[in-house]
């Protein structure tokens, strides 16, 4: 399990989407599944026994598909850069085209697949589920890039804060590294000279990208994408919660929102093990879920007590 993974919020389509992405990118697998119980039904309104989450891996990136209902709409404020490197895959261009064609079925091209100054073969597409992907043929002479990089776009009132947010995250995560920063030059209005055209940074082995955009976008960051920090113990949960949470009304069930509008889930890995191990024991699983639903920050001791209660 990676230290940081990504949750995507779907309206009942999580498993279908996970299977679709594994097929589109040609490498990956589905993992554990969790299901709704009676706990919290007055809040989530989902039928007990219906799919709650499905873990899946695409290339080298861990995802969780969540069937959370219609509350949040997927949008390009978060997208995923997929690097196709000819030095590692002799069929890189062909595999890129295959993925693009599958994603284009029912999807919308945000930037057409063609040559750009930064890549000889690149396109940005929003698929039929609403998830946005940037497919890029990587320059094999450059530094090796991760297969998938989550990219955060800072728009509206957040525009101009990409570098500040990046530095904020670098200050919080212990194993962190700053990468490239490219800035908008003069003459690219409405983009402001000096703001971030592209930057990347590494947190706990996971690379992220960030960019500012002053275009008239009709979307903002929301809970449809969240980054899961898998914590070794309660002390880690407490640390990340205290450092990241900035919107008290968004705190629920281990979720928080930071001061830039990015959503995080701060989760002890032991809690995930408890859920998985109790999946075949309905009463135990329901007790743990009920305890979790009542929490803001997750309390591992209380979750263990709920699991052990006879």
Angle between helices 234-244 and 162-172 (to 10 degrees): 150
Under 8 Å between Cβ of 262 and 154: no
pLDDT tens digits, 28-54: 999 999 999 887 666 667 788 899 999
Give the pLDDT confidence score for residue 310 in this predicted structure: 63
CATH assignment of 4-73+234-308? 3.30.720.100
Give the pLDDT confidence score for residue 145 in this predicted structure: 76
β-bridge pairing 51-58 and 119-126: unpaired
Give the pLDDT confidence score for residue 146 in this predicted structure: 87
Q: Answer with the residue of higher pLDDT: 85 or 1.
A: 85
3-state SS class at 290: helix
Rounded Cα–Cα distance for residues 74 and 279 (Å): 29
pLDDT tens digits, 245-286: 999 999 999 999 999 999 999 999 999 999 988 888 888 999
Rounded Cα–Cα distance for residues 36 and 110 (Å): 35
Rounded Cα–Cα distance for residues 96 and 169 (Å): 31
Give the pLDDT confidence score for residue 38 in this predicted structure: 81
For domain 78-212, is the CATH number 3.30.720.110? yes
Identical fold for domains 4-73+234-308 and 78-212, yes or no, is yes
Q: For the chain, what are the domain ranges?
A: 4-73+234-308, 78-212
Give the pLDDT confidence score for residue 111 in this predicted structure: 97
pLDDT, mean of residues 221-248: 98
pLDDT tens digits, 119-141: 999 999 999 999 999 999 997 67
At residue 165 the predicted structure's pLDDT band, cuts being 50, 70 and 90, is: very high
* CA nearest to 288, candidates 267, 305, 310: 305
Give the pLDDT confidence score for residue 48 in this predicted structure: 84
Q: What is the DSSP string of 191-259?
A: SPTTSEEEEEEEETTEEEEEEE--S--S----TTEEEEEEESSHHHHHHHHHHH---GGG-BTTEEE-T
DSSP code, position 89: -
Count Cβ atoms below 10 Å from residue 117 Cβ, excluding itself. Answer: 6
């Amino acid at each position: 399990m990676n230290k940081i993974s990504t949750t995507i919020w779907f309206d009942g389509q999580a498993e279908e989407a996970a299977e679709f992405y594994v097929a589109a990118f040609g490498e990956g697998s589905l993992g554990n599944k969790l299901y709704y119980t009676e706990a919290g039904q007055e809040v989530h309104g989902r039928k007990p026994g219906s799919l709650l989450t499905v873990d899946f891996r695409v290339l080298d990136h861990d995802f969780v598909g969540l069937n959370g209902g219609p509350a949040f709409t997927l949008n390009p404020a978060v997208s995923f850069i997929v690097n196709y490197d000819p030095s590692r895959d002799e069929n890189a261009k062909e595999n890129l085209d295959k993925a693009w064609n599958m994603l284009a079925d029912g999807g919308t091209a945000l930037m057409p697949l063609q040559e750009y100054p930064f890549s000889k073969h690149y396109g940005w597409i929003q698929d039929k589920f609403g998830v946005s992907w940037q497919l890029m043929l990587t320059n094999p002479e450059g530094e090796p890039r991760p297969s998938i990089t989550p990219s955060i776009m800072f728009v509206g009132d957040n525009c101009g804060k990409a570098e500040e947010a990046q530095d904020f995250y670098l200050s919080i995560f212990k194993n962190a590294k700053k990468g490239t920063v490219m800035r908008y030059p003069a003459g690219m209005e409405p983009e402001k000279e000096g703001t971030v055209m592209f930057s990347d940074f590494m947190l706990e082995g996971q690379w992220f990208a960030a960019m500012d955009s002053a275009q008239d976008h009709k979307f903002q960051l929301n809970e449809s994408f969240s980054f899961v920090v898998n914590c070794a113990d309660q002390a880690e949960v407490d640390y990340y919660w205290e450092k990241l949470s900035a919107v008290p009304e968004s705190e629920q069930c281990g979720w928080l929102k930071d001061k830039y509008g990015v959503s995080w889930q701060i989760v002890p890995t032991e809690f995930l093990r408890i859920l998985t191990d109790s999946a075949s024991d309905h009463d135990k699983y329901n007790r743990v879920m009920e305890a979790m639903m009542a929490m803001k920050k997750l309390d591992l001791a209380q979750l263990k007590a709920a699991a052990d209660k006879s």
